[in-house]
Structure 1
């Protein structure tokens, strides 16, 4: 078993050679003052500059520094996932490598996890040093994320977060795509409900330029929808497809019955009326009925696949036990 430490500082990065030495020295100064047992874990997401060379130099100078390097750029989620799996600290704090996150926040974040017993603490950059083209989409993304997830945070996308080790080990296998923006939501839906928030200092970028464009907000919004759908319906697809299918079939049937009844009434009154198939409503109703049947069958097939998968592999549940003793079955 690897040595368990109090603290892991996890730093995903891409082309941040200028800031790494300064960031390292700042972190070391803060954690040394508190006498934490710690590691600084850099995850180089396929940098094309000298970032990895600097990480190697820092590791040679400081035995608490470890590094992981990707052979190409896989994205921040992959970097965090790999870092979570490798982290040895009882508290894992993530921060960006561009010096916009202040290491001076580390002690308070650590105390909120260890003393106030939060599972996760997310930073809130209440005052930002970013252009409106970045801050306005951020506010919209955060509002939508709160509405969909029910997790009441002001700043989901803040890179400065603190986690209990159990949280990162649980959520790491479930991460993909661009889910790094939605980690509090993923943690919440994995049963970690004690999620806190702390106002943190946001600093202007000192070196280089941002590596993210406006498309990240579109991707983040879509990922929130995916997470919500998978969480709510992956184990019970009939609840989603069956409900939509039933509603669609019902609406289509009402349209068809209405047209038939209207036709019969007009015939009984001797009123000349156009054919049912000449009415556009007939085709809308027919499409709704067919779509309803297809959605219902999709839900049914989904249920069959889920049940077959569970029968083959069994479902693993995360649970703590206390007071249990092993008992042998009597014959």
Structure 2
């Protein structure tokens, strides 16, 4: 199969028929063999009924329905697991991503041998205050932290080699950082393409300002995982050693000071009256805790099991 188009969605009943017709038109015009995998992430409207009807009319349409809303990352993970195409395209279901971009994205993967191509919505139709400026700040921080030179990490329109989506683990809210996950997995040829951004036609956005706060927190998480995910003791052990050395030196200073005063018959206070005593005690305790955190991290890493992160209630054509 040539193309797999993975579309996570939540309450997008008004746009699904139009999106389906648009995608089918592009696929037919370019004579592509394809599958479209809709992942209904716990919609409470009529989205699943529409997906079921579309799948009955067109066997290239497939659907996965979650029992409840588990999040976009989990929806993408489920879609990636079922995708069979040589090239996998992800896009949003709100008609803000343009299916006419798919042929060029596919060509960049197959003809130019990119592992991943990310869309860049250079001209946006979102609110400047609520989305554009926070998005620019977020993308700047993501570039500096991850080392991946993309202008738009949040763009849902992306293209991947099939081997990429089968070898990355998208969990939590890490869908924003799939290019970083791909880079960490060894897929280094990552490209970018300017794509058209459409104004939202139906409904309201499902994301608020909190997504940028969560995005920055996830950025810290992925930095840590990238650097120390397989060796947490290297970080916690190093910090613990520094704290323990500070505490040991402080304790040594207290001991030396007391011995010096005793030897020279000078007056001295109780050890507990010396502020360095508390500095020593606190840093040694923190150092021990950091060591324990490192050990626990190593133990968890070696004993973790792959538990399910979402529950599927129905599927069609899968």
Say whether 1:145 aligns with 2:145.
no
Unaligned runs of 5+ in 1: 313-331
| Structure 1 residue 297, shift from structure 2 partner | 4.0
| Structure 1 residue 264, shift from structure 2 partner | 4.5
The residue number in structure 2 matching 1:222 is: 217
* CA RMSD between the two structures: 2.1
TM-score (norm 1): 0.85
The residue number in structure 2 matching 1:90 is: 86
Match of 2:251 among 250, 256, 265: 256
| Structure 1 residue 181, shift from structure 2 partner | 1.2
| Structure 1 residue 231, shift from structure 2 partner | 3.5
Query: Secondary structure of 1:93's match?
Result: strand
Structure 2 Cα separation of the partners of residues 86 and 35 of structure 1: 22
The residue number in structure 1 matching 2:30 is: 34
Say whether 1:111 aligns with 2:121.
no
The residue number in structure 2 matching 1:168 is: 165
The residue number in structure 1 matching 2:284 is: 289
TM-score (norm 2): 0.88
Question: Which is worse superposed, 123-132 or 144-153?
Answer: 144-153
Q: Please give the per-residue CA displacement for 1:138-177, whole angstroms capped at 9, x wherever unaligned.
A: 2222222222221121111110000100111111xx2221
Match of 1:233 among 228, 232, 235: 228
The structure 1 segments of at least 4 consecutive aligned residues displaced by more than 6 Å after TM superposition are none
Query: Secondary structure of 1:106's match?
Result: helix
Say whether 1:244 aligns with 2:239.
yes
Structure 2 Cα separation of the partners of residues 61 and 302 of structure 1: 50
Structure 1 Cα separation of the partners of residues 105 and 13 of structure 2: 26
| Structure 1 residue 210, shift from structure 2 partner | 0.3
Describe the shift of the 1:278–1:151 C-alpha distance in structure 2 as closer, same or farther (beyond 3 A). same
Describe the shift of the 1:295–1:273 C-alpha distance in structure 2 as closer, same or farther (beyond 3 A). same
Describe the shift of the 1:58–1:297 C-alpha distance in structure 2 as closer, same or farther (beyond 3 A). closer
| Structure 1 residue 303, shift from structure 2 partner | 4.0
The residue number in structure 1 matching 2:44 is: 48
| Structure 1 residue 274, shift from structure 2 partner | 3.5
Query: Secondary structure of 2:14's match?
Result: coil
Query: Secondary structure of 1:122's match?
Result: strand
The residue number in structure 2 matching 1:157 is: 154
The residue number in structure 1 matching 2:191 is: 196
Structure 2 Cα separation of the partners of residues 265 and 254 of structure 1: 16
Unaligned runs of 5+ in 2: 306-318
Structure 1 Cα separation of the partners of residues 5 and 190 of structure 2: 19
The residue number in structure 1 matching 2:175 is: 180
Describe the shift of the 1:161–1:304 C-alpha distance in structure 2 as closer, same or farther (beyond 3 A). closer
Structure 2 Cα separation of the partners of residues 33 and 20 of structure 1: 20
Structure 2 Cα separation of the partners of residues 306 and 14 of structure 1: 33
| Structure 1 residue 300, shift from structure 2 partner | 4.0
Structure 2 Cα separation of the partners of residues 242 and 60 of structure 1: 57
